[in-house]
C-alpha cells in the first residue's frame, strides 16, 4: 500500500472542516507543527464555560495496533478534564487499513 502523507493530511483536513463547521462553532486546529505528543488535529467548540473537544490522529500504517489505540486514548484523556469535555476520538487511516482492533468509542475515517 502506497501512502502519500500530504494527500492523507489534506483530505483529512477537508473532511474534518466539512463535518466540524465554523457555523456550528467548531475550530479545527492542525497540530502537525506542534509537539509530537499531541494529536494531528484538535477540534474544539466552546459551550459556555466548557469546551467540547475531539482529537484526531493520523496513522500511516497498514494495520492498527494496540499501541495506536493506547496512544489516542492517552492523548484524549490528557486533553480533557475540568472544563474540557471529550466529544470524540477519530483515527484517520489510509483506505484499506486493517481497523479491526479499534473500539466502538473511536471513529474511523478512511481517506
Domain containing 59 — which CATH number?
3.40.1350
Cβ density class 22-55: b for 16+ within 10 Å, e for less: eeeebebeebeeeeeebbbbbbbbeeeeebbbbb
Number of structural domains found in the chain: 1
pLDDT single digits (tens) 1-36? 566 778 888 899 999 999 999 999 999 998 865 565
In this prediction, residue 89 carries a pLDDT of: 96
pTM: 0.89
Give residue 59's domain range: 5-110
Residues constituting the chain: 111
Amino acid at each position: 500500500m502506497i501512502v502519500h502523507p500530504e494527500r492523507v493530511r489534506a483530505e483529512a483536513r477537508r473532511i474534518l472542516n466539512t463535518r466540524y463547521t465554523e457555523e456550528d462553532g467548531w475550530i479545527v486546529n492542525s497540530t502537525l507543527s506542534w509537539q509530537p505528543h499531541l494529536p494531528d488535529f484538535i477540534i474544539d467548540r466552546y459551550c459556555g464555560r466548557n469546551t467540547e473537544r475531539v482529537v484526531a490522529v493520523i496513522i500511516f500504517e497498514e494495520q492498527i495496533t494496540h499501541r495506536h489505540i493506547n496512544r489516542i486514548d492517552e492523548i484524549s484523556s490528557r486533553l480533557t478534564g475540568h472544563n474540557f469535555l471529550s466529544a470524540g476520538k477519530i483515527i484517520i487511516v489510509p483506505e484499506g487499513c486493517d481497523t479491526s482492533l479499534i473500539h466502538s468509542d473511536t471513529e474511523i475515517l478512511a481517506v
